Structure 1
């Protein structure tokens, strides 16, 4: 049994045996220019760690990168993430000067929760 995950120009090939993996790689190399990295470590913001029972998948590195990008790597955790006493107002406030960072973070957090 073999599984292939293809994303743009990256391929993950998982096979039930080493011989099957090698023969499948040989067939793919006839059609495509490829480099076999052998061990999978980081793909699509997911860290892969190999264990005797299989693979452990984690997004902790990606989550840490997001937190560092917004300058909150050294912040202390809080039990409540939002000011519960803050009241919303119907009057317009000061708009965000540049929404690029906000949109980028919204997309990063969406990727973190969907993947």
Structure 2
């Protein structure tokens, strides 16, 4: 491994959801239970196309806002 050359990985480092846009969700418990639900985790195994979107939503579990909740609902509608 000492002679290996590094390569760039195509990863988007910019968050698509803002920490400051929109009002805080009234009850963050509902958001957390939906985002951490076994069903949503199951979807990431069966639908690899939504893994990035789920990861972006889960980044905001500490202080979810209305746009984060809208994104979560959009993922669940897929």
Do the two structures share a fold, i.e. TM-score over 0.5? no
Q: Which has the larger radius of gyration?
A: 1
For normalisation by structure 2, the TM-score amounts to: 0.31
**Structure with larger RCO (C-alpha < 8 A, sep 6+):** 2
More helix by share: 2
For normalisation by structure 1, the TM-score amounts to: 0.23
